[in-house]
């Protein structure tokens, strides 16, 4: 799949312990993006962060909770990102969702791969 040169970045800030039904929330989001035919999705785990509550969550041994920050990034056309944002509306307790215009410089491996 070829990504458009002018694109949009969807960024979802959440935490790893959150659920959507019987699945982890991040898994439900990535699977939904795949169902919608988006170019790809990446889940990034943060070693430390805080959100709306200002409670610090860290990956220290003493604090082995399932509340570490996660960021899910998806880049695709603005139309497909808008579809994904609509799909997120049915999911509860996600966290912060942002979008921004981006320029895709390169997508995937070259023709020799």
Judge contact between 58 and 67, C-beta under 8 A.
no
CA distance from start to end of the chain = 15
Query: What CATH number has the domain spanning 6-103?
Result: 3.30.70.120
Residue 87 host element (H or E) = helix 78-88
Q: Where are the domains of the chain?
A: 6-103
Residue 68: pLDDT band by 50, 70, 90 thresholds?
confident
Q: pLDDT tens, 77-100?
A: 999 999 999 999 989 889 999 999
Residue 2: pLDDT band by 50, 70, 90 thresholds?
low
Whole-prediction pTM = 0.82
Judge contact between 75 and 3, C-beta under 8 A.
yes
Judge contact between 14 and 98, C-beta under 8 A.
no
State how far the Cα of 59 lies from the Cα of 56, in Å rounded to an integer. 10
Residues in the chain: 113
């Amino acid at each position: 799949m070829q990504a458009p040169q002018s694109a949009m970045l969807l960024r979802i800030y959440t935490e790893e312990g959150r659920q959507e039904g019987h699945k982890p929330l991040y898994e439900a989001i990535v699977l939904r993006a795949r169902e919608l035919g988006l170019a790809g999705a990446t889940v990034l785990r943060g070693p430390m962060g805080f959100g709306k509550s200002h409670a610090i969550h860290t990956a220290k041994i003493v604090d082995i909770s399932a509340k570490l920050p996660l960021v899910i990034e998806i880049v695709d056309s603005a139309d497909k990102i808008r579809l994904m944002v609509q799909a997120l509306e049915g999911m509860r307790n996600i966290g912060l969702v942002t979008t921004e215009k981006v320029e895709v410089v390169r997508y995937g491996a070259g023709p020799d791969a």
